[in-house]
Amino acid sequence: MHNAALELLGLEAQYEARDVIPEALKSALEQLVISGAWGCNLSIPHKEAALTQMHHLSPQAQAIGAVNTVLVKNGFFEGHNTDADGFMRSLEEAGVRVGQTSVVVLGAGGAARAVVYGLKHAGAEVLIWNRSSPRAESLAQEFQARAIETSELPASIQNAAGLVNTTSVGLENPDDSPIADDWLPQDWVCDIVYRPLETRLLRVAKAAKRRTIDGLGMLVYQGANAFELWTGQSPDIKVMRQAAMAVLEKL
């Protein structure tokens, strides 16, 4: 999607994917400077580890505690987080207004941090569940949210307006779901997994007449924000979405 946007704007640059093991993160970032790159995106497991490698953090990256976009400026690294804005724009696109409603978030990793940050800033009451209770409790304390135990999960979801899955359940096997099929919120369900676009969680929610939001919107909007940071130009959202869809349909 980035290359499609670059081509449309006539910019001579290329977006490439590279596998980097955790131990090689520092050297991979240094290679960006050597190669003259504008920056990069970071995915699991680098989002939180990159914090200590940045020379400067944006207010959002600092508040969220995770970096998904790096901007290289005169040999220095600026750490940004475009996930929160990307997530909230995907909800807005689906007509979801969180307001003073209750939302359950599954997971406590880097993506969850951005989601919780966005929801809290929109005024939502956020309940966090994670397989590791201490991680959920730590995240909840940071963002003035509430951690819930597994025993509380069914009732918490059913009493909430919305549910967001930030775990990787459903990524490898589309028939897997992080919750039981009858644990659904009252209004909407979002699964930030974008491969496949329709996970079991979303299929079940759609059949139960809940509004569903897949991970494509967040992917595209966070990417568009990153693109603007690197290039100083606004990309064509429609072109980026079409390019991303074209690839996802082949997977």
Which residue intervals of the chain are DSSP H helices?
2-8, 25-35, 46-49, 59-64, 83-93, 110-121, 133-142, 153-159, 200-207, 216-231, 237-248
Count: domains in the chain: 2
CATH of the domain at 240: 3.40.50.10860
Burial-class residue 55 by CB neighbours within 10 Å (0-12, 13-18, 19+).
exposed
Domain match, 94 and 66 both: no
Domain match, 52 and 28 both: yes
By annotation, the residues acting in catalysis are 47
Q: What is the pLDDT along the chain (251 residues), one digit of tens a residue?
A: 999 999 999 999 999 999 999 999 999 999 999 999 999 999 988 999 999 999 999 999 999 999 999 999 999 999 999 999 999 999 999 999 999 999 999 999 888 999 999 999 999 999 999 999 999 999 999 999 999 999 999 999 999 999 999 999 988 788 899 999 999 999 999 999 898 899 999 999 999 999 999 999 999 999 999 999 999 999 999 999 999 999 998 87
CA distances from 125 to 20, 38, 86, 150 (A): 36, 38, 20, 18
Domain match, 210 and 224 both: no
Domain match, 174 and 90 both: yes
Which residue range forms the structural domain that includes residue 192? Answer: 84-214
CA distances from 14 to 21, 152, 175 (A): 22, 47, 35
Adjacent-strand bridge partners of 69: 41, 80
Domain match, 7 and 64 both: yes
Cα torsion 182, 141, 122, 155 to 10°: value is: 20
CATH of the domain at 102: 3.40.50.720
Domain match, 210 and 226 both: no
Domain match, 210 and 230 both: no
Domain match, 109 and 24 both: no
Domain match, 125 and 188 both: yes
Domain match, 89 and 210 both: yes
Domain match, 89 and 72 both: no
Contact between 3 and 14 under an 8 Å Cβ cutoff? The reply is yes
Domain match, 110 and 99 both: yes
